[in-house]
Amino acid sequence: MQGRLTVTRPFMVGSVILALSGMAGCTALFTGPVEEGETFDQPLPGLTRAQQLAFARGDEAFEKAFSVKEGLGPIFNQPSCEGCHAGDGRGHPRTNLIRFGRNAGGVFDRLDTEGGPQLQERAIPGVAPETLPAHANAISVRSGPPAFGLGLVEAIPDAVILAGTDPNDANGDGISGRPNMVVPPDWVGVPQTPSVGRFGRKAGVAFLFQQVANAYHQDMGITSDVLPNENPHPVNGTLGDDAPDPEVSRATIDDVLFYLRTLAPPKRGPVTPEVKRGEQLFQQIGCASCHTPSMKTGTHPTIAALSQVDVPLYSDLLLHDMGPDLADNFVEGEAGGTEWRTAPLWGLRLVGDHLGGTHFYLHDGRTSDVREVIQSHGGEAAQARTRFFGLSKQDQDALVMFLLSL
């Protein structure tokens, strides 16, 4: 993971240091400690000693790349959690996942018996990877979302999110955000009643525990105490691998869950006069109607660091119709084929630091140009888009600089 250095040959490192010690200006060759708030892999402040140890265990498990002998597959997408979340940030387009189904006559079919709703395009030796069914017409390509700040998002009370809903656009501003109310599976251990979805590109998951266990099962083909059966192959049925099931324990799931709950969001970048001007314009042209600057957590039952915290995520966590340019025709819970959860903007300035220096934006990483991102916003965001491109070049630049300060 970025920001870590593993020294495997100390005698060689020592020799290099001695050799360089006589060079003029040699201090410029060595890096110092990473500044707090400048990476995506730092813990929330205020964790107890026991919580810091749990964070470290979860960090190690999150980074672990599984081998075939350890249970990888038989069909999978990536061998590790970090494979989809580089440096705990968003994924690179080359690791995009594909969700698919069939939309016909107003009826959506997840094509469960044909490998849906997620395509596992990789497989262990001797097993054929999945392929898209020819009649699948709802193809949703998605980059892994950032892993930081998820505990804060989970700790925002439902009532706070629901307060921002306006499904019938009662105030006439063209924005009609609504929640994706989803029923969790019984193994999550919560009442099976509709809950406010908040995780995933379409807010299709309400609880972080479900997100973690599903990621092991669907993305890596790793069984656990809560999902102990291998993901069936659409052609060959349920296949075995070289490891007995379950392949990870509930303790491992809980460690990764704690790690994700306590990953801190990065700090804001420098706020220059131009950035301040951009922030004012962001509000004035209506961007903040969906990208809510901040919400507040409630009282967390076990992690004090998550209690009563302002969460500057720049999202209302609601579904919005984003128009044809971003449509995927894929239905997820109550989210339709043109709807997406408002993407949080925090950490935007550091995206490229974890993706080889290139910023990849939107749900599928299709562009590195902020103006192209704005141009693709239709539907409920069309008025804000029109207002942005009606600004002077100087004001447009200021708003972009604001976005890149988050």
Greatest CA separation found in the chain? Answer: 75
Q: What is the pLDDT of residue 11?
A: 32
pLDDT for 178 equals 97
Could you list the beta-strand ranges (E) of 6-121.
75-76, 97-104, 107-109
Give yes or no for a contact between 40 and 88, defined as CB atoms under 8 angstroms apart.
yes
Apex 209 CA angle, 227 and 363, nearest 5: 100
What DSSP designation does 398 have?
Answer: H
Q: What is the pLDDT along the chain (406 residues), one digit of tens a residue?
A: 333 333 333 333 343 333 334 444 444 444 566 788 899 999 999 999 999 999 999 999 999 999 999 999 999 999 999 999 999 999 999 999 999 999 998 899 999 999 999 999 999 999 999 999 999 999 999 999 999 999 999 999 999 999 999 999 999 999 999 999 999 999 999 999 999 999 999 999 999 999 999 999 999 999 999 999 999 999 988 887 889 999 999 999 999 999 999 999 999 999 999 999 999 999 999 999 999 999 999 999 999 999 999 999 999 999 999 999 999 999 999 999 999 999 999 999 999 998 889 999 999 999 999 999 999 999 999 999 999 999 999 999 999 999 999 9
Distance of CA 380 to CAs 252, 268, 286, 346, Å? 41, 27, 10, 21
pTM for this model (two decimals): 0.90
Structure tokens of 117? Answer: 């709703």
Copy the structure tokens of residue 189: 């251990």
Secondary structure element (H or E) that encloses residue 69, with its range: none
Burial of 277 (0-12, 13-18, 19+ CB in 10 A): middle
Output the pLDDT for position 32.
60
pLDDT at 33: 67
Q: Which of 370, 367, 320, 365 minimizes the C-alpha distance to 341? A: 320
